[in-house]
Structure 1
């Protein structure tokens, strides 16, 4: 994707493949069977762009994200970060990948240590990389909490003392602590209420406008994807079957699978949408009466 632009992408995946062994399939005289979760996936991701990988559960999109962020080793293929091959990176080179690529996970509570305060959680990436915390841990954490819409005075609280949406904001603050150039969001809003989803999407867009990072956004909810993505890649059975600019994929799908996904998205009747827009305009103008 986007290879005609002539720009070096921040993140490039080339022909990624991932095979997992099938439990109990091997034996003394039998070769273990494997399941191919990702099969020949390629894409480019540039600064300031959001590429959404979409598809049904089991399509391979989350595994692709883990391969691209080097959380999982590839079976074959290549991952390039800012033009450098990091597919087999170890040691200091892998540490550089960790500084450049950060992940926000689906379930914020499972990815936040329940025994650590927000301050300790948010500053963990810097400590693990042996880097000093600018301005001290307390001030640094308070600044990040304010940026993601949390009360800075709550930096000594624990994850269990926050709502799901607030916990996800903590996860985003932790990811931003090292000022990554690529942010991977793996179903980062799928477990949240619709109203909270909208808040997190708005937050991500605002932070991206400020920082200029690239975003690899994994989702199965196409309504959410349309709000945040600049480009879309549709996956099924471990392969990308269609990719392109967001509006092209949504308005002019070329693949039958993409069409079936779009048909499954709930539609708001035109008259309902018109009424919603009119009332929103009235509220903005302060002309809506109370009932």
Structure 2
């Protein structure tokens, strides 16, 4: 942001406006034991021109993923992005999918979300889509909470999560459930990086839901097709790899390699994996699911969650 200096007169005026006698009064709410009683370890201030030159000298020491073979990312991996995407995302209506509170000035955002959801319905044959999740971590946590609401007979069951799921996702689920008495069990992985199937099958019995990511955090495609479907009551589907090319997946998957949106994914949440004609992988929700079983598609513009329940599997 632009450099906005505060003169001594500015500071005095602001302190007087809030009724503070000095800067020290602003910090008195901070416990003494965590107060920093020394200056920050920062160099002295520089004129703007010198500061910009210093930052540029640091920046040239960096190498971007386009110049190296990159195996980093932790869920956000290197992809070629067509130049047109920069122009599209530069438009204000595409800055964020955050729900607009002032539709009279946010019609562009609303239109973009509507068109996106419509296209996902057309691609998957699903009747319902939702674009209200912030990201995959929140979508996973919300799916776990939804499992509690629509599967009351297992309300005392644990939320079972594969340890190869993105650690930030797992932390988010634990944050959401920390104060509601919900137990979270993590399933380990083997030397090959894939989920421990024996432990998963055991933990899934009586669980509220089971969450796994495929490809997982290590880039391994999980062998979830070997888990009995009546045990696998939830999957968190990862992204950033068009695994349908390599793997007869039990879900339809979209990633940032397929659409010009970061981490876009779409899957069904509760119900059989068939399309609207009874074939393939997706099935359009029926009124029975909508009314009684909470059939719901979480579609995040960042990532998505697939959630299943044995109660509604055919």
What is the TM-score normalised by the length of structure 1?
A: 0.24
Computing the radius of gyration from Cα coordinates, the structure with the larger value is 2
Structure ranking higher in helix proportion: 1
Structure ranking higher in strand proportion: 1
Higher relative contact order, chain-length normalized (CA < 8 Å, sep 6+)? 1
